[in-house]
């Protein structure tokens, strides 16, 4: 197998600039690129052709899976790597990728996705399945589509890393995306009212829209249906539920997360969340203990936890308790984080 035996498929609409970035990142590698445009009014189609992709058009029918399966059907090769136009691969070793695919025939290859959140100052890492054999797998679901096929799939983590900025949108773009996602997800939920994954995605949609009360309802319902820690999305569902409870003034309800600590408490993300839950309930010593755990735990999806967020929050707690010396020690551990420097000055310490 060669790198040229892999086809890259992309669906896009009105993403001219992001599509160009996506395609330029693919340029060094010898593979077929299939771009399917679902109705752009900008120069996305021209951009695809300029960057050497094969271009096809697909009438949008409110179904991401239909568009993705159409794109895969237009590829020459059976091994598919699917990307969104707001994603860009980082440089990688082609021989390594080929060996990884060959070592797990029929499996689903996961890519590390580095998501830029809101203003781009936070990054969240996750692994998502994007490499597959189209003879064995296909997409299902109108939105937040999932690869479906083998009931007991084999997964492997590939060497690929990509940057995604789909959450870094201006207010108008975010509102349009939210309304589209909400509409499609509610249609999905009508067909499957007890589907935990759809409920989770609806909760995330409301969370990003700032509708934390609604988010808590959907995420809580999702966890009532399924709380299996082995499912890839459950940890994020749990954490998003916790943050929603805090943000909508129900921090006391979130104390119940103590009961699931044994299942999720091995990650820095959950430890950090528990720190916030304790902090918002006035349990300050417990909060600092969790922030200290999170700060040194390498198992973190959110990079900022170990870099500055955990220590900064520990500093805030100690400052609120009147222990400025301890607060300053935590703030100094935050490196170049500007807010920590500001707090140091505010309490009378040099950076």
Is residue 80 located within the same domain as residue 121? yes
User: How many structural domains comprise the chain?
Assistant: 2
Is residue 205 located within the same domain as residue 230? yes
Distance CA 134, CA 139 (A): 9
Whichever domain contains 42, its CATH number is 3.90.550.10
Is residue 200 located within the same domain as residue 288? yes
Is residue 186 located within the same domain as residue 302? yes
Residues contacting residue 25 through CB under 8 Å, at least 6 positions apart: 88, 89, 90
Residue 123 lies in a domain: yes
- As to burial, measured by CB atoms within 10 angstroms (0-12 exposed, 13-18 middle, 19+ buried), residue 173 is exposed
- As to burial, measured by CB atoms within 10 angstroms (0-12 exposed, 13-18 middle, 19+ buried), residue 333 is middle
| Final residue belonging to a domain, choices 167, 191, 224 | 167
First-to-last C-alpha distance (Å) of the chain: 55
Whichever domain contains 287, its CATH number is 1.25.40.10
| Final residue belonging to a domain, choices 137, 167, 197 | 167
pLDDT for the residue 116: 81
Q: What is the pLDDT along the chain (351 residues), one digit of tens a residue?
A: 999 999 999 999 999 999 999 999 999 998 999 999 999 999 999 999 999 999 999 999 999 999 999 999 999 999 999 999 999 999 999 999 999 999 999 999 999 999 887 544 567 889 999 999 999 999 999 998 999 997 778 999 999 999 998 766 677 878 888 899 999 999 999 999 999 999 999 999 999 889 999 999 999 999 998 788 888 889 999 999 999 999 999 999 999 999 999 999 999 999 999 999 999 999 999 999 999 999 999 999 998 999 999 999 999 999 999 999 999 999 999 999 999 999 999 999 987
Residue 16 lies in a domain: yes
Is residue 112 located within the same domain as residue 219? no
pLDDT for the residue 172: 83
User: Beta strand 122-133 with 108-117: parallel, antiparallel or unpaired?
Assistant: antiparallel
pLDDT for the residue 166: 72
pLDDT for the residue 169: 67
- Please choose, from the candidates 186, 65, 94, 79, the residue with its C-alpha nearest in 3D space to the C-alpha of residue 134: 79
Residues contacting residue 172 through CB under 8 Å, at least 6 positions apart: none
Is residue 47 located within the same domain as residue 155? yes
Q: What is the pTM of this model?
A: 0.87
Q: Which strand (E) or helix (H) includes residue 34?
A: strand 32-37
The range of the structural domain enclosing residue 335 comes to 171-346
Residue 192 lies in a domain: yes
Q: In the block, which residue shows the tokens 């954490």? A: 239
Is residue 192 located within the same domain as residue 113? no
Is residue 139 located within the same domain as residue 261? no
Is residue 175 located within the same domain as residue 163? no
Is residue 291 located within the same domain as residue 161? no
Residue 302 is given by DSSP the state B
pLDDT for the residue 337: 94
Residue 7 lies in a domain: yes
| Final residue belonging to a domain, choices 167, 202, 222 | 167
pLDDT for the residue 132: 97
Residue 351 lies in a domain: no
Is residue 201 located within the same domain as residue 305? yes
Residue 187 lies in a domain: yes
Is residue 100 located within the same domain as residue 124? yes
């Amino acid at each position: 197998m060669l790198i040229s035996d892999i086809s890259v498929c992309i669906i896009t609409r009105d993403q001219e600039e992001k599509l160009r970035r996506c395609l330029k990142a693919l340029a060094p590698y010898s593979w077929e690129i299939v771009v399917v445009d679902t109705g752009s009014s900008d120069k996305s189609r021209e951009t695809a052709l300029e960057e050497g992709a094969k271009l096809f058009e697909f009438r949008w029918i409110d179904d991401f899976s239909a568009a993705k399966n159409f794109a895969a059907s237009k590829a020459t090769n059976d091994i598919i790597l699917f990307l969104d136009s707001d994603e860009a691969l980082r440089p990688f070793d082609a021989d390594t990728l080929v060996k990884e695919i060959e070592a797990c025939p029929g499996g689903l290859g996961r890519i590390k996705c580095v998501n830029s959140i809101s203003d781009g100052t936070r990054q969240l890492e996750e692994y998502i399945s994007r490499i597959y054999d189209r003879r064995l797998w296909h997409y299902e679901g109108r939105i937040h589509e999932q690869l479906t096929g083998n009931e007991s799939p084999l997964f492997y983590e590939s060497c690929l890393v990509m940057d995604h900025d789909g959450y870094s949108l201006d207010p108008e773009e975010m509102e349009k995306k939210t309304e589209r996602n909400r509409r499609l997800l509610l249609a999905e939920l009508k067909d499957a009212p007890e589907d935990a994954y759809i409920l989770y995605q609806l909760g995330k949609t409301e969370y990003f829209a700032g509708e934390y009360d609604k988010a808590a309802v959907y995420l809580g319902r999702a966890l009532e249906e399924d709380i299996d820690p082995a499912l890839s999305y459950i940890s994020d569902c749990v954490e998003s539920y916790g943050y929603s409870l805090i943000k909508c003034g129900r921090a006391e309800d979130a104390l119940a997360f103590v009961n699931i600590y044994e299942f999720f408490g091995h990650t820095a993300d959950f430890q950090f969340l528990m720190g916030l839950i304790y902090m918002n309930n006035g349990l300050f010593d417990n909060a600092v203990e969790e922030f200290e755990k999170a700060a040194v735990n390498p198992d973190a999806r959110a990079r900022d936890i170990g870099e500055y967020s955990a220590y900064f929050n520990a500093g805030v707690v100690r400052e609120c308790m009147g222990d400025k010396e301890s607060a300053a020690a935590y703030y100094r551990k935050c490196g170049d984080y500007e807010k920590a420097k500001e707090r140091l000055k505010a309490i009378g310490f040099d950076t």
